[in-house]
Amino acid sequence: MAMSIDAGEGPKSEPNVVPMIDIFVSMRGSSAQEVEQRVAIPMEKLLKEIPGVEYVYSTSMPGQALVTVRYYVGVSENDAVVRTYNKMYSNFDLIPPGASRPLIKVRSIFDVPILAMTFWGRGYSSHELRQIVEEANVAVKQVDNVSETTIIGGTRRELRVTLNPQRLAAYHLSPGAIARAFQLSNQRSISGSFAQENREFVVETGRFISDAGDARNMVVGVFNGQPVYLGDVADVADGPGEHSNYVLFGYGGAVKKASGDEYPAVTLAVAKRRGTNASIVAKAVIDKVDSMRGVAIPDNLQVTVTRDYGETAKQKSNDLLKHLLLATLSVTLLVALALGWRESGVVLVAVPGTLALTLFIFYFHGYTLNRVTLFALIFSIGILVDDAIVVVENIVRHFRLPQNQGRPWGEVAVEAVDEVGNPTILATFAVIAAILPMAFVSGLMGPYMRPIPVGASAAMLFSLAVAFVVSPWAALRLLRGEKKAAEHIDESQTWTRRVYRRVITPLVESATRRWIFFAGVVVLLLAACAMVPLKMVLVKMLPFDNKSEMQVVVDMPAGTPLERTLAAEQAV
C-alpha cells in the first residue's frame, strides 16, 4: 500500500480522449475572489470564442487561476493547441497588472503514468530516498519511448537560512539586503577574454553557492569598514527541506509478511510516448532499475511496483486471446456435433483465414490490438462462420443426395455453392447493414466503438469470400473419406432429422399449438426487455476495469496541518 498526502488543495483533471488544455495564470497577493473576477472570468469569455470549444472550466485560488479548455471530439490536438495559443497571445494587452503571462499545457491520456515504482526500506529517511530516486530518474529517462517521469514524495535538499534579528540590527542590515546579496552572489558570468601564447582564455567571475560553507562565507554587507558575512547574522543549515507531502508504504492484512508498520517512501511514476507498447516500455524501465542494483540503488532498498498498466494490459490481451481461441473451438465443436468432425474441419479452416484478413484491415486503419479490437474479433466469430456453415452444409447435403452418387464431386460442390450463393450474399450484407451504422456514432464513444463495426463488417465480407473460395476447396479435400459412406446414408434417418420432426410436426398440424408457441416467444421477448428497466441487468457500453487498486480520499477542513491529515489517514 502506497499512501500519498499532498499539502493544500490542487485541481485535478481526469485524462480524456478529447483535446484538453490547461492554462495557468499566477497573481501573487490576490485573493481567490479577486483572481476569479480579474483573471478567470475574462479568460473564460475569450476561450469560449474559439471555434470547436465544448466546455471551459475554471478554478480560482489565492494567487493563482487554472482554466481548462475542452474541445469537441474529432478536433485535432494540434489544431486545438494552435487555436488556444493564438487566442491567448493575441490578447496579452488584456492581462491585468500583477498577473503573469499564461502558461499553457496540453493534457492527454498519454500523461497518465503506466508504471509506478515505490522505493522504501528500513532505516531510510524520505530525504535519502529522494536522492536515490533522483539518480534512478535520470537513468529511466534514457529508456526508449519514456515520455514523462514524476517523483512523488520525499524532501528536497535545501539551504535553510535562519536570520538573527539582534545581529541584523547590530550590523544595520535588513532581510531585504540579505535577499539582494543572495541574488548578486549566487551567479556566474563571463566577464571577458584574453589571448596568450596562441590560445584564447575566457574569464568567468562569480560562482554558484554549492553548500552551507559557501553560504556562510558570502559577504552581505559592510560595517565599520569590515565585511559582514552571512554566518555573522544567520544560522545556515544544509539538509532536507520541510515536508510538503508524505508518502508512506506498508503491506495490508492480506499479505503474509504484513507487520502493520509503514515506512517513508518515494514513488517514481513513468508515462509512455504516444503510439508505443505499454508492456514493452514498462518492462524496459523495470529492467533498467534492476540493473542499477548495487550501483546507485543499495541492495537493501526495496523497490515495489505499485502500478504496472503494461502488465495488466498484457494480461487482458491474453485473456481475450484465450476467449478468442475458446470461441473458435466452441463453434467448431458445435458444427462437429451437428454435421460431423470432417465438416467441422472445413469451418475451422475458414476462421483463421477470415481473422487474418480482418487483422490486416485493422493494421491498414491504424488500429492496435487492444480490448476493443479483440472484442470485435470475438464478436465477429459468431457471425463470420455463418457463411462457411451454410456452404459446407449444402455441399454435404448434395454429396448425400442419391442422384449425385457417381458424379464428379467438384461439379456437385459447384452446384451446391451456386444454390445458396444469392441467399448467403443477401444475409451477409443484411448483417453489415445492421452493424456498420455504429461506425458513425459521434461523441466520446465514437473513437472507442469504431473498431467494432469496421472489424465486424470487414470480417463478414472476408467470410463471404472465404466461404465461396476456400470452403469448397477444403470440403473437397477433407470430405473425400465420406464418399463411400454417403452412398449408404439415409438422410431421413439421421438423429437431427428425427428430433426436428418431433418438435416441428405438432406445430405444423395444430393451429392452437402454433399460437401458444408464438405467445411464449413474445412473453420471453418482453421479459428479456423488462430486465433493463427493472435493473435486473446493468447496461454499460464498456465494463468496469477490474484493477487491483483502491483510493481513499480524506477531505479535511481548510487550514488543517499536514501532520494532522497524515494522522487521520493512518487512522483510516
Residue 259: per-residue pLDDT: 64
The model's pLDDT over 204-256, given as tens digits with 9 standing for 90+, comes to: 887 888 888 888 888 888 888 889 998 889 998 888 888 888 888 888 766 66
**DSSP at 297:** B
Tell me the β-bridge partners of 115: 270, 308
- Cell triple for 16: 480524456
- Pure H helices in 59-152: 77-89, 126-140
User: Which element (helix H / strand E) includes 233?
Assistant: helix 230-233
Backbone angles phi, psi at 474, to 5 degrees: -65, -35
DSSP class per residue in 181-225: HHHHHB--EEEEEEEETTEEEEEEE-B---SHHHHHT-EEEEETT
The radius of gyration of the chain from alpha carbons, rounded to an integer in Å, stands at: 36
The upper half-sphere exposure of residue 241, i.e. CA atoms within 13 Å in the direction of its Cβ, equals 12
Q: Look at strands 199-205 and 189-196 and give their pairing.
A: antiparallel
Vertex 274: Cα angle to 303 and 317 (nearest 5): 70
The model's pLDDT over 11-64, given as tens digits with 9 standing for 90+, comes to: 333 334 678 899 999 998 888 899 999 999 999 999 999 998 989 989 998 999
How many C-beta atoms lie closer than 10 Å to residue 462's C-beta? Answer: 22
Q: Which residues contact 334 (CB under 8 A, 6 or more apart)?
A: none
The model's pLDDT over 52-93, given as tens digits with 9 standing for 90+, comes to: 898 998 999 899 999 999 998 878 888 999 999 999 989 888
The better pLDDT of the pair 457, 6 is held by: 457
How deeply is 340 buried, as exposed, middle or buried, from its count of CB atoms within 10 A (0-12, 13-18, 19+)? middle
Residue 5: per-residue pLDDT: 34
How many C-beta atoms lie closer than 10 Å to residue 100's C-beta? Answer: 13
As a whole number of angstroms, the distance between CA 241 and CA 346 comes to 72
The model's pLDDT over 127-152, given as tens digits with 9 standing for 90+, comes to: 889 999 999 999 999 999 998 899 99
Q: How confident is the model at residue 7 (pLDDT cuts 50, 70, 90)?
A: very low
How deeply is 439 buried, as exposed, middle or buried, from its count of CB atoms within 10 A (0-12, 13-18, 19+)? middle
Q: What does pLDDT average to over the chain?
A: 82
**What letter represents residue 512's amino acid?**
T
CA 449, distance to chain mean position in Å, is 16
> For residue 367, is pLDDT > 80?
no
Would you report the helix, strand and coil content of the chain in percent, each value rounded to 5?
A: 50, 20, 30
**What letter represents residue 271's amino acid?**
A
- Pure H helices in 510-552: 511-530
The model's pLDDT over 475-520, given as tens digits with 9 standing for 90+, comes to: 887 776 555 544 545 555 567 778 888 888 888 888 899 999 999 9
The model's pLDDT over 387-400, given as tens digits with 9 standing for 90+, comes to: 888 888 888 888 77
Which SS3 state, helix, strand or coil, does residue 36 take?
A: helix
How deeply is 260 buried, as exposed, middle or buried, from its count of CB atoms within 10 A (0-12, 13-18, 19+)? exposed
Backbone angles phi, psi at 233, to 5 degrees: -120, 0
Average pLDDT for 305-311: 85
As a whole number of angstroms, the distance between CA 147 and CA 141 comes to 8
Q: Distances from the Cα of 297 to the Cαs of 131, 243, 283, 356, 441, in angstroms?
A: 10, 23, 18, 46, 51
What's the pTM? 0.70
As a whole number of angstroms, the distance between CA 257 and CA 341 comes to 53
For residue 167, give the nearest of 232, 106, 252 by alpha carbon.
232
Tell me the β-bridge partners of 104: 23
Which SS3 state, helix, strand or coil, does residue 245 take?
A: strand
Residue 284: per-residue pLDDT: 92
> For residue 541, is pLDDT > 70?
no
